[in-house]
Amino acid sequence: MHITALAGGIGGSRFLVGLRAALADDLPDAQITVIGNTGDDIWIHGLRVCPDLDTVMYTLGGGISAERGWGREDETFTVREELAAYGVEPTWFGLGDRDIATHLIRTQSLAAGYTLTEVTAALCERWQPGVRLLPMTDGRTETHVVVDDPTGATAPDGTPLRTALHFQEWWIRYRAQLPAHEFVLVGADQATPGPDVIDAITGADVVLLPPSNPVVSIGTILQVPGIADAVRSTPAPVVGVSPIVGDAPVRGMADACLRAIGVETSATGVALHYGARTEGGLVDAWVIDTVDAERTAEIDAAGIRCIVAPTMMTDEAASAALARVCLEAARTP
Ligand code: FO1
């Protein structure tokens, strides 16, 4: 059985840990392919950093910092401190000493002509995540966020000037507190899906949309030409999990992202944003948390089969239970 999941960073990785555990018990021969978001990728001090790929790899490989949800456990930041002592920017990016080894290998391998898909597979040889991790594209793409200029600069008529920040600067330096006017995936129009990405979606037995950020993680993956159409057309059932519980994201700042694209921050808002596959959208079924149970009828009315279940992934068992709910939803037409 082949299961393919589009995943971003921390929320997606937690779900994947549960999916892997559920399948190990229920379907030990099942294979999981993860299509990872590369819109967060950034050049930092000459190193190519791929936050969402690394979060999936480290989390499933057992090397993640449980406290932060990103980067390596037992991490130190000596190089970062030394760079700051030289006055080298950016100082706001938490570049960890252990993490640098990953970025050095990736940067050197890319410079030698290997693709990001090949480099990711090579890095996963060490971490053995138990899934095949595919970058959404091998092309260079970066999510940039259009905001009012943080310096307060204005045009002669007094209107605020707008500037585009790399997503990481908006997310880390400004904690997503600068209202985003627009998210732009730079390079999207030239991007092509990584090798095996489309096959992994159209050839899957189940396609899952974990509770990653629907705008800058899942949404970014869907912007690579061909991927959204593959999800719309795959013969496999497509099951998504709401990243919003109550009227707030479980973690991160998905609400800041949803507001920017005019989507209501609710389990219903995101479901309608993805749309029902029977209406040309992306999902057949949508798992919402028990606190949102009263939204079932409005989601069903949109042509999306709504399933109510606990979606807070407080530990691996909870994540596995959620994954089982998704797999069950995929089995029942
Ligand atoms: N997130 C932060 O909030 N602060 C950081 O300094 C930071 C550094 C960092 C370094 C490597 C990496 O792989 C991830 C890192 N993240 C940091 C998380 C990252 O910004 C997010 O995980 C994703 O880009 C959004 O999901």
Per-residue pLDDT, 228: 98
Q: Residue 169: CB within 6 Å of ligand 1?
A: no
- Residues 298-325 have pLDDT tens digits of 999 999 999 999 999 999 999 999 999 9
Q: Judge contact between 255 and 216, C-beta under 8 A.
A: no
Instruction: Give the side-chain half-sphere CA count within 13 A for 90.
Output: 17
Per-residue pLDDT, 145: 97
- Residues 189-210 have pLDDT tens digits of 999 999 999 999 999 999 999 9
* Ligand 1 atom having least distance to the Cα of 99: 11
pTM value is 0.96
- Residues 78-134 have pLDDT tens digits of 999 999 999 999 999 999 999 999 999 999 999 999 999 999 999 999 999 999 999
Retrieve residue 252's tokens.
């991160």
Residue 333 has pLDDT above 80, yes or no: no
Q: Judge contact between 114 and 58, C-beta under 8 A.
A: no
Residues 6+ apart with CB under 8 A from 110: 48, 116, 119
Protein residue with its CA nearest to atom 13 in ligand 1: 51
Sign of the CA dihedral with 226 first, then 255, 170, and 43 last: negative
* Ligand 1 atom having least distance to the Cα of 50: 13
CB atoms < 10 A from the CB of 130, how many?
A: 17
Phi, psi for 8 (deg, rounded to 5):
-100, -120
Per-residue pLDDT, 332: 83
Q: Residue 93: CB within 6 Å of ligand 1?
A: yes
- Residues 211-235 have pLDDT tens digits of 999 999 999 999 999 999 999 999 9
Residue 252 has pLDDT above 80, yes or no: no
pLDDT category of residue 48 using cuts at 50, 70 and 90: very high
Residue 188 has pLDDT above 80, yes or no: yes
Q: Residue 51: CB within 6 Å of ligand 1?
A: yes
Q: Judge contact between 96 and 77, C-beta under 8 A.
A: yes
Helix (H) or strand (E) holding 155: none
Distance 4 CA to ligand 1 centre (A): 24
Phi, psi for 276 (deg, rounded to 5):
-85, 135
Protein residue with its CA nearest to atom 3 in ligand 1: 172
Q: Judge contact between 142 and 187, C-beta under 8 A.
A: yes
Protein residue with its CA nearest to atom 9 in ligand 1: 94
DSSP-derived secondary structure letter, 161: P
Per-residue pLDDT, 251: 73
Q: Which of 48, 168, 251 to mutate to test the pocket of ligand 1 (most atoms within 8 A of CB)?
A: 168
- Residues 129-166 have pLDDT tens digits of 999 999 999 999 999 999 999 999 999 999 999 999 99
Mean pLDDT for all residues in the chain: 96
Domain ranges of the chain: 142-189
